[in-house]
Structure 1
């Protein structure tokens, strides 16, 4: 036993003597110039070690390095690319003989990284992979071969793999700046702390971080922790109990709190993720939370989300209503090699508005988007807070203009074309089906819409819908490839009840009937003023069994009869409307004018024809309506008007769209009366000649004929 004790004591004395000799004879600081020289050769940059290098012998062999800096080239805002105040590293020596690398706790204090890209595009990271004086930084094939040959083991027996362990990592008071002077972006990490507990492949370790900084104007803070496992063969990893927290504020946007938690993560297995966020955007406050299950395939080619759900409470003036509840549910997959995201079982709701379906997104130079969406009911007016029913404006009432008092539509107002540049950057195709739709107070059902956007052109391939006991079919194209967008619209309405549609859409009951409308329009420019000035095409209407409210044409005929006789028309209280059995007209649009020359309204009593135009810019009306009584019957309202059968009554329609005015064209009426009287006079004289011969010139006979004619026309 004494011999063993003396032997151990000798070993200890020898180790102590060796350490003492090492400390006395070897000063690690003498290696500073050599280290700096090797770094200079390898990178072309200067390494400056201002602090001391000191040995560490317990509990393992290692060293401390004081203040050290790795320099930037000239011309950058800070002198150093990397610097730190102190670093510590130690390695256990004895395990090295058993091919085991046991590293003690690695500590870095006061570290800082500065990365800058100049306006020219030059970065202080450029050239780090090249040796000084070597423009390529690549080894020649011959050098690689020599190195490979020299490293070949003498024995062909496989080498025993190394085992590695780390007592931990500690980074304290680190900071970093990433600057890009080309666009003025700057990220400044003012404090970064990181710790990793004992680490060894096949064992769980705990990692924590805490970071504070600013990205441009956004001040942020984040912290998190997780447990990490690296497989013994270093061919995989796992996470569990991941928790992240974030807050940020740039003066306009504030994320008061955001969190994400994950129970576990391993390739090929499902993980549960929960997340939440609360904050304030300009004019919008949000409070949201959600969860999902995540799976990443073992080959890392497919990412899947199952049962994604998100619920958010929103409030603020940016919304169509003071507050809203929004919900999203979906399953999703992302094919990484194909860059294709697919969303299925998609369902979203915003208060009473709900939409479901599927969609996909393929990342490319021109992203490809496809969708197939459906909803049972969408009330756009209620959603936008515009659910008030407009009061019907009867044509018999004086209606106030919807424009501001004193405004003139002909006065040019500066308008800006909508930005349609997105049409050139996406490839979109999809379909939307809606059971019931209410928009602009119009009520539609069984709506089916197909749309595409490609190469700068939007195509509404088909819009089919039922409305007001009729059917709508429409198509449209908007081409955004030119300086001004062009459009082409085609619509066909068939069997539509006109009056309830006008009451709902325009609050106007001036026209009633069952009708069809065919619209074919095109033009350039999408601002209101350009549409009015540049629209071209036709609008053809064909109504049946209806009435025009606001004007009683039979009453005006009686007034015309009284006017011709020089009397005042008898007042009869009747509804101001004119019934018709059919109404047809074709409006031609061009150069800011809508005109017609074939207005034709028929009823058993009346024949109404008309022509004229309206200015689409000023909204002024200029129409002449000619009305004739073509039957012998009691007039509308029960008053006999047989005496004016075959008399054409001209009516001027003036005013504007909101206040049309109807009046007899007295000049035209009197001219017509004079022409009829002159024609009758000639016919009477011809008849007298045949009847009385030369006696027709007798004054008594002429006087009797004149009295007869005056009785007819007065």
Structure 2
């Protein structure tokens, strides 16, 4: 027993003597030049240890490091890339004999990192890790010595070491990330991190908090989680992850952002909840959601299942003061392909509900594909156009025309500027988009459509509407169009076929104009350059063929005008009951030719049981002026519009002038042309005038001077 005690005392004495010798004979600060030299070789940068390096032996062997600076190359705004005020590290000795590496608490105080990218593109991170050249000792390239046969047995496989860490403490760290090319600056003023005892196969607690400034935005965040490293050190897990953050500048106030995750393990599903609340210019939001999340074991595919997002929005930029937005979907993201896929999504934006799928592939020109469906979309209500129209009508009714004259000039200038402004189509050159939209019902610009199908594509600066099909007002429409944005001005080509559409309710809904009724077929083929309203009117060319049946023209009663012409020809006053100002027809056909800022026709033909109408003329697409002449022939019949009174002027051709503009067309009887085109009527009219003069003047009508005056009067009436 005494021998054992002596042996232990001897060992203790050796240790004490060894430690004393180490403290007396070995000054760790003498290794500073060696450390600096090795860092220089490894990184090409200088390491300056200005603080002391000191040993620590209780309760474990370790050292503490004073102020240390890792230099930047010349030409950067700060001399140091990394600096530390102090650091501590210790290792337990006895476990080493059992192949156990037990590291004590690692503590780093007042660390600072500075990263800069200069205007010339050079960064202080460039060149790190490039070792400086070290001259190698010359080697002898003689014949390799023959290995002596060994009688020793093969060594056993290395035993596995176990590693544990008492903790990591990062206290009051800071960082600056500065990009002079982009003009951005992020300043992390305080970063604290703490990791509890950490060992493979055990759960460790981690916490952090951070505050800083990104540009003019102050931000802060904090979080906590539990970390698990498997014994093989080839995988890790998280659980109970909690993150929260906020940010604020002069115009933005993100008051709360939260994220909670129950666990994170590759190949397993995790439950995630999140929320965000705050205010940006003209918009206040309050959003929350949840999803199931999985990262595959290869860590290159992320899956979201059962994603639900519910957000309330308020702001002046919205179509209405308050809106509710809901989204439900499944999603995948393939890291290698850069492909995000949205599966079976459903989005509800107030009363608008859409569903479908889509994908986004990251590339120099992003590739987007989509298929969207909805039962009913009312764009007018969604965009607030219905309310805006009602408010405008109420304002006009309340104020009349008074008080608006002072605003007319500026409003007119603004309107004209808008008409001259080309839309910015540069985005068409930056996208590769293709997809379809199917709508059960659609209301837009007060027009009502059903069974809408849109098939479109954007590629290489060209928007192609491959198909637009819909049912509207008892008929149908099909259209194709292209817009090419690659030239100085965009060009377009449109073809459209409208079949069996009831024109009257369509015009009333679209333009609030009740000027035409009937069942119509319209074929449109037009091209043009420029999409500003003014350029469209000036440059559009092509043709529009119309074919209407069983309708009426509102605003003019041609049979009434025929009876008026008859009365005037007889010198009688028009004694009849005023009828509705409309002209019925059984068919109307015309071809409108577009070009040089005008729309013209020379083959207007309107037929009815009572009338035959031919017309020609033009309208200016820029000024909206109208200049048409309509020649009307009455058909002998005692039935139909006009009744028996028209029989007396059967086969009479009555010319009617259509003047004015689109918003206020004017219809008038061209009496002079009427008489010229109907010689018998002109002769009869002359006789009626002469007879009237005889009754008025008696024998004086034969006087030469009076005859000259009468002839002059007649010429004025009939020319």
Same fold (TM over 0.5): yes
> What residue number does 2:574 align with?
569
Indicate the RMSD between aligned Cα atoms, in angstroms. Answer: 3.0
Within the alignment, does 1:53 sit opposite 2:53 as a pair?
A: yes
Q: Distance in 2 between matches of 1:405 and 1:575?
A: 35
Is it true that 1:603 corresponds to 2:608 in the alignment? yes
Look up the match of 1:590: 595
- Aligned residue number for residue 308 of structure 1: 307
Matches of 2:302 and 2:137, distance apart in 1: 39
Q: Are the counterparts in 1 of residues 569 and 681 from structure 2 also a CA contact under 8 Å? A: no
Q: 2:443 aligns with which of 438, 444, 448?
A: 438
**Structure 1 residues 29, 526: closer, same or farther in 2, change over 3 A?**
same
Shift of 1:445: 0.8
Aligned residue among 494, 499, 503 for 1:498: 503
In the aligned structure 1, how far is the partner of 2:319 from the partner of 2:416? 31
CA pair 298-600 structure 1, distance change in 2 beyond 3 A: same
**Separation in 2 of the partners of 1:142 and 1:102?**
43
Deviation at 1:642, TM superposition (A): 2.6
State how 1:424-435 maps to structure 2 within 5 Å: 424-435=429-440
Partners of 2:427 and 2:16 in 1: how far apart? 76
- 1:45 is paired with a residue whose SS is coil
Equivalence for 2:206: 207
Deviations 1:355-378, CA, capped at 9 Å, x for gaps: 011112222333222222111111
Query: CA shift at 1:420, angstroms?
Result: 2.0
Question: Is the contact between residue 412 and residue 529 of structure 1 (CA under 8 Å) also seen in structure 2?
Answer: no
- State how 1:667-706 maps to structure 2 within 5 Å: 667-674=672-679, 677=682
CA distance 1:553–1:274, change in 2 (3 Å) = same
Instruction: Name the CA shift for 1:264/1:413 in 2 (closer, same or farther; >3 Å).
Output: closer
Structure 1, residues 291-328: CA drift from partner, whole Å, max 9, x if none? 11112222223321111111111111111011111110
* Larger RCO, structure (CA 8 Å, separation 6 or more): 1
CA contact (8 A) 2:453 2:468 kept: yes
Contact 1:634 1:640 in 2 (8 A): no
Q: State how many pairs are aligned.
A: 666
Deviation at 1:94, TM superposition (A): 2.5
Alignment equivalent of 1:535, drawn from 526, 532, 540: 540
Question: Taking structure 1 as reference, are residues 427 and 609 closer, same or farther at Cα in structure 2, changes over 3 Å only?
Answer: same
1:638-669 deviations in Å (ceiling 9; x for gaps): 46023322222211111111111111223322
Q: Partner residue of 1:75?
A: 75
The within-5 A match list for 1:329-368 is 329-368=328-367
Equivalent residues of 1:460, 1:477 under 8 A apart: yes
Question: Residues 103, 606 of structure 1: CA spacing in aligned structure 2 closer, same or farther, 3 A cutoff?
Answer: same
Q: Which residue of 1 aligns with 2:164?
A: 165
Does structure 1 conserve the Cα–Cα contact (< 8 Å) formed by 2:500 and 2:521? yes
1:194·1:210 contact (CA, 8 Å) conserved in 2? yes
Q: Bigger shift: 297-306 or 8-17?
A: 8-17
Q: After TM superposition, give the deviation of residue 495 of structure 1 in Å.
A: 0.8
Quick check: 1:409–1:618 contact (8 Å CA) kept in 2?
no
Q: Report which stretch shifted further, 331-340 or 620-629.
A: 331-340
Tell whether the 8 Å contact from 1:545 to 1:582 is kept in structure 2 after alignment: yes
Q: CA deviation at 1:674?
A: 4.9
Q: In structure 2, what is the equivalent of residue 461 of structure 1?
A: 466
Answer yes or no: is the 8 Å Cα contact 1:294–1:304 preserved in 2.
Answer: yes
Higher mean Cα deviation, 612-621 or 300-309? 300-309
1:90 CA drift (Å)? 0.9
Q: Deviations over 1:491-518 (max 9, x none)?
A: 1111111111111111111111111111
**What per-residue deviation string (whole Å, max 9, x for no partner) do you get for residues 267-288 of structure 1?**
1111101111111121111111
Distance 2:350 2:656 in 1: 52
CA contact (8 A) 2:467 2:479 kept: yes
Distance 1:140 1:43 in 2: 25
Partner of 2:705: none
Structure 1 stretches of 4+ with a deviation exceeding 6 A read 137-143, 408-412, 678-681
Structure 1 pair 672–79 and aligned structure 2 pair: CA distance change class (3 A): same
Q: State the 1:290 CA deviation.
A: 0.6
Q: What is aligned with 2:229?
A: 230
- SS of 2:12's partner is helix
Aligned to 2:187: 188
Matches of 1:300 and 1:6, distance apart in 2: 60
Cα separation, 2, equivalents of 1:427 and 1:533: 31
Shift of residue 607, structure 1, vs aligned partner: 1.1
CA distance in structure 1 between the aligned counterparts of 2:138 and 2:185, rounded to whole angstroms: 39
SS of the counterpart of 1:32?
A: helix
Separation in structure 2 between the aligned mates of residue 62 and residue 388 of structure 1, nearest angstrom: 76
Contact 2:563-2:645 at 8 Å conserved across structures: no
The match for 1:114 is 114
| Residue aligned with 1:104, SS | strand
Secondary structure of the residue that 1:96 maps to in structure 2? helix
1:386 Cα deviation from its structure 2 partner: 2.1
**Relative to 1, partners in 2 of residues 1:338 and 1:44: Cα closer, same or farther, differing over 3 Å?**
closer
Contact 2:419–2:532 (8 Å) recurs in 1: no
Query: Do the aligned partners of 2:637 and 2:643 also contact (CA within 8 Å) in 1?
Result: no
Aligned residue in 1 for 2:692: none
- CA offsets, 1:200-236, max 9 Å, x none? 1111111111111122232211111111111111121
Distance 1:599 1:141 in 2: 104
Structure 1 residue matching 2:38: 3-state secondary structure: helix
Q: Distance in 2 between matches of 1:413 and 1:103?
A: 72
Query: Deviations along 1:584-633, whole A, 9 cap, x unmatched?
Result: 11111112111111111111111111111111111111111111112242
Equivalent pair of 2:178/2:184 in contact (CA under 8 Å): yes
**Aligned residues of 1:539 and 1:587 also touching (Cα < 8 A):** yes
Kindly report which structure 2 residues correspond to 1:229-248, keeping only aligned pairs within 5 A, or say none: 229-248=228-247
Alignment of 1:98-497 (within 5 A): 98-132=98-132, 155=154, 157-387=156-386, 415-497=420-502
CA gap 1:94/1:478 in 2 versus in 1, 3 angstroms:
same
User: Could you list the per-position Cα deviations for residues 662-682 of structure 1 after superposition, in whole angstroms to 9, with x for gaps in the alignment?
Assistant: 11223322433557546999x
Could you tell me the TM-score, scaled by structure 1's length?
0.88
How many Å separate the matches in 1 of 2:311 and 2:276?
A: 9
Q: Tell me the secondary structure at the aligned position of residue 58 of structure 1.
A: coil
Using the TM superposition, name which of 200-209 and 3-12 deviates more. 3-12
> 1:409 and 1:658 mapped to 2: Cα distance?
21
Structure 2: stretches of 5+ with no match in the other structure:
394-399, 687-717
Q: Decide whether the 8 Å contact of 1:458 with 1:478 is kept in 2.
A: yes
Checking the alignment, whether the CA contact within 8 Å between 2:554 and 2:583 is kept in structure 1 is: yes
- Quote the residue 2:397 is aligned against: none
3-state DSSP of counterpart to 1:59: coil
Alpha carbons of structure 1 residues 405 and 251: separation in structure 2 relative to 1, 3 Å: closer
